[in-house]
A and B are shown apart, each in its own frame.
Chain A
Amino acid sequence: MLADVIPGLMSVLTPTVLFFIVFGVFVGIIFGSIPGLTATMAIVMFLPVTYTMSPIEGVSTLVALYVGGISGGLIAAILLNIPGTPSSIATTFDGAPMARKGQAGKALGVGVVFSFCGTIVGLLVLVLVSPLLAMFAIKFGPYEYCTLALFALSLVISLTGRDLVKGLISGLLGVMLATVGLAPVDSAKRFTFGIVDLNAGFSLLTLLIGLFAITEVIKAAEDVRKPVKAELETNVHIKGFGFSFAEFWSQKLNMIRSSAIGIVIGILPGIGGAISGMLAYTAAKNQSKHPEKFGTGIMDGVVASETANNAGIGGAMIPLLTLGIPGDAATAMLLGGLMVHQIAPGPLIFDKSGVEVFGIFFALAISAVAMLVIELFGIKIFIRVLKVPKYLLLPVIMVLCVIGAIGNANRMFDVWSVMVFGVMGYLLIKAKIPHVPMILGFILGPIFELNFRRAVQHAQIDPTGVFSHPIAICFFAVTIIVVILSLRRQRKEAALLQASEES
C-alpha cells in the first residue's frame, strides 16, 4: 500500500492535473460564493466534463470543486450577510458583523486560513483512518451492510430536517424512486410499465441534477426580478493573512474542537456542512470565556464555522472511499465520479486503486493550498462575480444541466428525468420537505434491499443468522437508540435551531 504513495503523488504532479485542480478550486469558489449555487451543483455540472479525462484528472477536478465550493460560501456570508452555501450559515453570525465594523478583510482572511486548516486536519484524519477502516470493513458482509444502511437511513431521516415526518417522507420517496428498474439479486423488472428506458431505473446523476440544479434555478427564478436588499461590502483590503500570528495561535483549541466536530459530522451520513458549522459555532460559544461577544463580530465564530465545514470534507470521504456510503449530497456526486472512472469504493480500494486513492489525497492537499492562495489574492474577482445578475447565470446553468444529463448515458430519457425531478424538487421545497434524505434514501435503499436479500440467503444456510454477527447487532441496536433519541430530542432541537437562526 505504501508503495502507492509516491506514484500517487507523481500522478497529480502533472501540469494537466495541477491545472484542473486550480481551475476546479476557482470555479468551486465561484459556485460557493454565489448564493443559490452550491458546491454540490458545481460537482454536478462538471461531472460530465470529467467523463473523458483520465481517472486521476477527473477525480482531482471534482475534489477541487468540492473544496472550493465549500470554502467559497464564506465570501458571500461575510460580504453580503447571505450564506453562499448552506455550510456557511454560521459564518454569517460573526463574519457579517465584522465586515460592518470595517474588518471585512480580517474576517475573510480568518475564514480562508481556517478553511485551509480545517481541510488539512480533515485530510490527515482521512489518510490515517481510512486504511484502518478499510481493513475492518472487509469483515462487513450482507448482515453488516444491511444494518449499516438501516442505521445510516435512520440518522439521515432524524438529523437532516427539523421535522421527522417530512424527513421520513423525503427518505422514503428516495427509496421508492430507487426501486424502479431491475431489482437487485433476481433482476425482476419493477415499475417499468413496459417502457424500455425504465428498465435501467433512474440514475443518481439525474436525480442530483434535478434536485440540486434545476430546482435551485426554478427557485432562484422566483425572485430574480426582485431588487436585492443585501448590501455588498466592497471595501476590502487584506494585508498578509489579515490577522496576526498571536491571534491565530489563540484559536488553536477552537480549531481542534471545530475540526473534530466537522469530521464526525462529515462521517455520519446525510448531515453535511450546514449542521457541522452550526454545531461548532454553538460549541465554541459554550466553551468560550466570553460567550456574550459571539454575534457581535469576533473571529472565534468565523473560525468555528469555517474550520468545521471544511474539516467535514475529509470526514465525509472516509465512509465514501472505504464503504461506498457517501456522507452528504456532494460526496454522493463524488461517488458517481469514482464509479464513472472505474474506481470501486469499498474495502479493497487501497488494493485495487491505491495509486488513485493517494492521488485523491494529494489532490485534496493541493486543492487546499490552491484555495488559500486564490481566495487571498483573488478576492476582488469574486466580489465582482457577486455582482453578476442572476438572470444571466441561471439560463447558462440550465443548459449545462441538460448537457450533463445527456452525458450520463447518451439518452434523451435522462433529460426528461432531470426536468421532472427538478419540478418535483421545487414542489418539495414548497412543502418544506428536505432534499438530502431523498438522495441518501435513493443510495441507501438499494444497499439495504440488496444486502437484506443476501442476508436471507445466508440465513437459510446458517440458521444462527444475525446472531453470529455482533457488528450487525450493534448497528441494529444503535439504530433503535437513534430513532428513540431523535424522537425525544426532535422538538428541543428544532426550537434551538430556529432560535439561533433568527438571532
Chain B
Amino acid sequence: MKKFATALTFAAALTVGAAPAAFAEDAYPNQTINMICTHGAGGDTDYNTRLISRLLEKRFGVSVVVNNVTGANGSIALTQYKDDKTDGYTLIGTNAMSLASNEASGLSDFGYDAFEVISVYGKQCGENLLVRADAPYNTLEELIAATQKEPDSITLGVAMGGSSYIAGLIMQMDNDAKFAMVDAGGDGAERMTSLLGGHIDVTIAPYTLAKEYIESGKVKSLCTLMSERLPATPDIPTAVESGVPNLKIDTLYVLLAPKGTPKEIVDKLNAAVLDIVNNDPEYKEAIMNFNFQEPYALNVEDSIARLKEQREHMMSYAKYLQ
C-alpha cells in the first residue's frame, strides 16, 4: 500500500513537471490525452471513438482515456468542452450529424467552426429507406409516386428533428412526395419495431439494424441514403440514383479539439489518424466487423470543407426544424 502511494506521488510529480514541456510541439504528446466521447457507451460513435483512441495510444505511447460525457444528443459535452484547455490533451470524439443537426434545430448555437477540426475519420454504413416485404413498391420512385396518388396516407416513421426527418423533408420538398410523417422514435431499433408491427409503412434505419430482417425477407430496402453505394451491399441503390439528388445523409465520425489548439498539434494528430485509418489492417477489420464501415479519413482542409458542406446542407432546412 505504501509502495503504491509513493508511486502515485511520483507519477503526480511527473505529470506536473511535464506540463510546461507540452508547449514544445515536438514533445507532444507526452502525457495522458483525455478523449471526450459525446455519446453513450456501446453506440457507434462510442465504438469509433474508442477504436481510434486505442490505436492512437499505441502510436503515441501515451494513454488516451475515453470518457463518455453524454446527454442531449452530444450537445452537453460539446458545449462544456469547446473552450477547454488548448494544449492538445483534451480532445472530443463525436459525429458530424449531431454537430450539424443540433445547430440546425437550435439545440446548440454553434457549429463545427467553434472547434479546431482534427479529422473526419469515418463514415457510418448508412441509413436505409425500408418498407415491409409485402409492400407494393420496389423502388423509391414507385414509393414517391404512390404517395402522390394517395397523399397523406402512407406513413413515414421518423425521429422528429433528426436526420430521418430531414430525409423526409428533402423528399417532400424536392420531389413533391406526400408522406404522412409521424414520430417513430430517435432510436433506429424503435423505428424498426414500428415498421415490423405495422404501425408505420415506411421508415429509415441504419443498415446494421435492418440487415437481418432484409435477409430473412421481412423487410426490403428501397435505397441507401449514403452518397455512394455501400461496398458490402452493392445491390442497394442510392437515393441519388433513385431520382432524389439532394437526399445524401452521411453520418461522419469526427475528432475535434477546443478552439485555439495549436495548428502543429492538430496536424500531428491528423497525420496519425490518417495513417491508422488508411494503413492499419487491424482498424480496417474492426470497423468492417462492427458496422460494415470502410476506411474513410480526410486531411484537415478536406475535413473542414466536408463539415462546412454538411452544415450548409442542414442549415438550409433549419427553418423546418426549429
Residues of A within 8 A of B (CB): 51, 138-142, 181-182, 184-187, 189, 196-197, 199-201, 340-342, 344, 346-348, 351-352, 409-411, 450, 453-454, 457-458, 460-461
A346 and B107 in contact, given A141-B199, A197-B76, A199-B72 (Cβ under 8 angstroms): no
Binds A, one of B17-25, B188-196, B266-274, B300-308: B188-196
CA distance A495 to B76 in the complex (A): 50
A186 and B193 in contact, given A196-B76, A410-B68, A461-B182 (Cβ under 8 angstroms): no
Query: Which residues does chain B contribute within 8 Å of A340, judged by CB atoms?
Result: 40-42
Residue of B whose beta carbon sits closest to that of A352: B189
Q: What are some 7 contacts across the A-B interface (CB < 8 A)? A: A340-B40, A342-B43, A344-B190, A346-B189, A410-B69, A454-B183, A461-B152
A142 and B199 in contact, given A346-B190, A348-B192 (Cβ under 8 angstroms): yes
Query: Which residues does chain B contribute within 8 Å of A182, judged by CB atoms?
Result: 72, 107
Is B180 on the interface with A (CB-CB < 8 A)?
yes
A288 to chain B, nearest CB (A): 46
Query: Which residues does chain A contribute within 8 Å of B161, judged by CB atoms?
Result: 186-187
- A185–B67 touching, CB < 8 Å: no
Residue of A whose beta carbon sits closest to that of B161: A187
Query: Which residues does chain A contribute within 8 Å of B70, judged by CB atoms?
Result: 200, 409-410
A454 and B196 in contact, given A344-B189, A352-B189, A409-B70 (Cβ under 8 angstroms): no
Residue of A whose beta carbon sits closest to that of B194: A141
B310 to chain A, nearest CB (A): 19
Residues of A contacting B: mostly:
mixed
CA distance A181 to B71 in the complex (A): 10
- A344–B187 touching, CB < 8 Å: yes
Query: Which residues does chain A contribute within 8 Å of B67, judged by CB atoms?
Result: 410
Is B160 on the interface with A (CB-CB < 8 A)?
yes
- A347–B197 touching, CB < 8 Å: yes
The 5 closest A-B pairs by CB, nearest first: A200-B71, A141-B199, A199-B72, A342-B42, A457-B182
Query: Which residues does chain B contribute within 8 Å of A181, judged by CB atoms?
Result: 72
Is B95 on the interface with A (CB-CB < 8 A)?
no
B183 to chain A, nearest CB (A): 5
Q: Which of B188-218 contact A (CB under 8 A)?
A: 189-190, 192-194, 196-199, 212
Query: Which residues does chain A contribute within 8 Å of B289, judged by CB atoms?
Result: none
- Contact check: which of B69, B80, B182, B193 meets A458 at CB < 8 Å? B182
- B193–A346 touching, CB < 8 Å: yes
Is B75 on the interface with A (CB-CB < 8 A)?
yes
CA distance A358 to B71 in the complex (A): 31
- Contact check: which of B76, B107, B183, B196 meets A453 at CB < 8 Å? B183
CA distance A376 to B20 in the complex (A): 61
Give the interface size bracket for B toward A: 35 or more
Residue of B whose beta carbon sits closest to that of A199: B72
Query: Which residues does chain A contribute within 8 Å of B71, judged by CB atoms?
Result: 197, 199-201, 409, 411
CA distance A197 to B71 in the complex (A): 8
CA distance A410 to B155 in the complex (A): 39
Query: Which residues does chain A contribute within 8 Å of B198, judged by CB atoms?
Result: 139, 141
- Contact check: which of A140, A185, A411 meets B69 at CB < 8 Å? A411
A414 to chain B, nearest CB (A): 10
Query: Which residues does chain A contribute within 8 Å of B212, judged by CB atoms?
Result: 351
Query: Which residues does chain A contribute within 8 Å of B68, judged by CB atoms?
Result: 409-410
A461 and B153 in contact, given A186-B161, A200-B71, A411-B69 (Cβ under 8 angstroms): yes
A203 to chain B, nearest CB (A): 8
CA distance A142 to B160 in the complex (A): 15
- B189–A457 touching, CB < 8 Å: no
CA distance A47 to B69 in the complex (A): 17
Query: Which residues does chain A contribute within 8 Å of B192, judged by CB atoms?
Result: 348
CA distance A450 to B160 in the complex (A): 12
Is B184 on the interface with A (CB-CB < 8 A)?
yes
- B72–A200 touching, CB < 8 Å: yes
Is B105 on the interface with A (CB-CB < 8 A)?
yes
Query: Which residues does chain A contribute within 8 Å of B42, judged by CB atoms?
Result: 340-342
CA distance A450 to B194 in the complex (A): 14
- Chain B 36-71 per-residue mask, 1 if CB under 8 angstroms from chain A, else 0: 000011110000000000000000000000011111
- B194–A187 touching, CB < 8 Å: no
Most buried by A among B71, B161, B198: B71
Is B79 on the interface with A (CB-CB < 8 A)?
yes
- A348–B193 touching, CB < 8 Å: yes
- Contact check: which of B79, B182, B183, B184 meets A196 at CB < 8 Å? B79
- A141–B197 touching, CB < 8 Å: yes
- A457–B41 touching, CB < 8 Å: no
A186 and B182 in contact, given A51-B41, A461-B152 (Cβ under 8 angstroms): no
Query: Which residues does chain A contribute within 8 Å of B199, judged by CB atoms?
Result: 141-142, 458
CA distance A196 to B76 in the complex (A): 6
Known: A454-B184, A457-B182, A461-B152. 14 other contacts (CB 8 A): A138-B196, A141-B197, A187-B160, A196-B76, A197-B71, A199-B71, A199-B75, A199-B76, A344-B189, A346-B189, A348-B192, A348-B193, A351-B212, A458-B182
A148 to chain B, nearest CB (A): 14
CA distance A182 to B186 in the complex (A): 12
A409 and B183 in contact, given A346-B189, A352-B189, A458-B155 (Cβ under 8 angstroms): no
Residue of B whose beta carbon sits closest to that of A455: B182
Residue of A whose beta carbon sits closest to that of B101: A187
B151 to chain A, nearest CB (A): 11
Residue of A whose beta carbon sits closest to that of B37: A410
Query: Which residues does chain A contribute within 8 Å of B190, judged by CB atoms?
Result: 344, 346
- B107–A199 touching, CB < 8 Å: yes
- B107–A138 touching, CB < 8 Å: no
Residue of A whose beta carbon sits closest to that of B196: A138
A497 to chain B, nearest CB (A): 40
Query: Which residues does chain B contribute within 8 Å of A138, judged by CB atoms?
Result: 193, 196-197
CA distance A129 to B172 in the complex (A): 43
- B183–A457 touching, CB < 8 Å: yes
CA distance A351 to B213 in the complex (A): 9
CA distance A182 to B68 in the complex (A): 19
